[in-house]
Amino acid sequence: MYSSHGTAPADWSEAALLAQLYDWEHDGFRDDIALYSALGRRTGGSVLELACGTGRILAGLVDDGFHVVGVDRSPDMLERARVRLAHARGAAELVLADMREGVLPGTHGLIVFGLDAFGLVHDPVQQTDTLDRVRAALQGDGVVVLDLVHVGSLADHPHGIPVLQRSGADEEIDANVTKWMVLELHPAAQLIEWRCFYDISWRPGGFRRVTETVEIRTFGRYEIELLLARAGLRVEAMYGDYELGPFQDDSRRMLVVARRHDG
């Protein structure tokens, strides 16, 4: 479906392969799109997704009739998003930029930090600055949603050892892929570290291992409420799953919905 400058997948850069492997893992995941679509219909206006990656969420929202804008700092991720959205029914704009820097484009009814995107902002000053700019980019009745990992749900996961996460065919690159992951929790730094190893066996023959380390900042409930309040955003609701279940000790996600507070 996609290509990387017309070259065979075995010759792609590591960044291009990681973008493709992200889709191999996540393309079938749609649990969050209905929530964003419902919130977008409530607020009206366009939808801005920060750290939009390859456009999985954007494509779902465009299919529901929204005008969407996506921001990401990875050219390889955005290239896949461009291909994905090329024949979209609605309007879509993609911007190559770091969400932690500069003015966010436009004014929007809904701003989305999907699947741990806000956790990519580690520095407290950058967290505050980013939320200040989010507030400035919200229309008067606009809403921001942060989909955060709940670190408590990872307490019983194996730490420090490779765990098989997924194995199967990747038809796009004509290969079989096995993903191993090593999880490390760093409570003092409030960081989750995922070391990912993708073993790619090309069907014509050959093998390649691609590695990636992702560090996600974790947040407590009251910490995120204070960060939002400091930026002039008031928490409207907090959920533990995409079906709007309550946020509890065993919740896997912490979904925070906040709106502008002008008082």
Report the DSSP pairing between strands 175-186 and 163-170.
antiparallel
Residues 128 and 50 in one domain: yes
CB proximity list for 187: less than 8 A, separation 6 or greater? none
In-domain check, residue 145: yes
Query: Average pLDDT, stretch 59-76?
Result: 95
The residue range of the domain holding 206 is 153-217
The pLDDT, as a whole number, for residue 95 is 96
One domain for residues 105 and 226: yes
Q: Do 98 and 205 sit in the same domain of this protein?
A: no
- Note the maximum CA span of the chain: 64
pLDDT score for 56: 96
More confident residue, 92 or 155: 92
What are the strands of the beta sheet with 68-72, ordered from one edge? 92-96, 68-72, 47-50, 108-113, 138-149, 253-260, 233-239
Same domain, 25 and 49: yes
- Which pLDDT does position 248 carry in this prediction? 95
* Of 212, 226, 225, 219, the residue nearest 181 (C-alpha): 212
Q: What CATH number does residue 53 fall under? A: 3.40.50.150
Residue 1 is assigned to a structural domain of this protein: no
Residue 136 and residue 79 share a domain: yes
Q: If you average pLDDT over residues 151-160, what whole number do you get?
A: 89
Span 189-211, pLDDT tens digits: 999 999 999 999 999 899 999 99
DSSP string, 112-136: EE-TTGGGG--SHHHHHHHHHHHHH
* Mean pLDDT across the chain: 94
Is the pTM higher than 0.75? Answer: yes
pLDDT beyond 90 at 123:
yes
How far is CA 113 from each of CA 35, 205, 256, rounded to the nearest angstrom? 13, 39, 10
What's the pLDDT score for residue 6?
A: 65
52 plus 79 within the same structural domain: yes
Q: Could you tell me which of 160, 147, 166 has the C-alpha nearest to residue 251?
A: 147
Does 125 share its domain with 15?
yes
How many domains does the structure of the chain reveal?
2
Confidence of residue 87 (pLDDT cuts 50, 70, 90): confident
Domain of 177, CATH number, reads 2.20.25.110
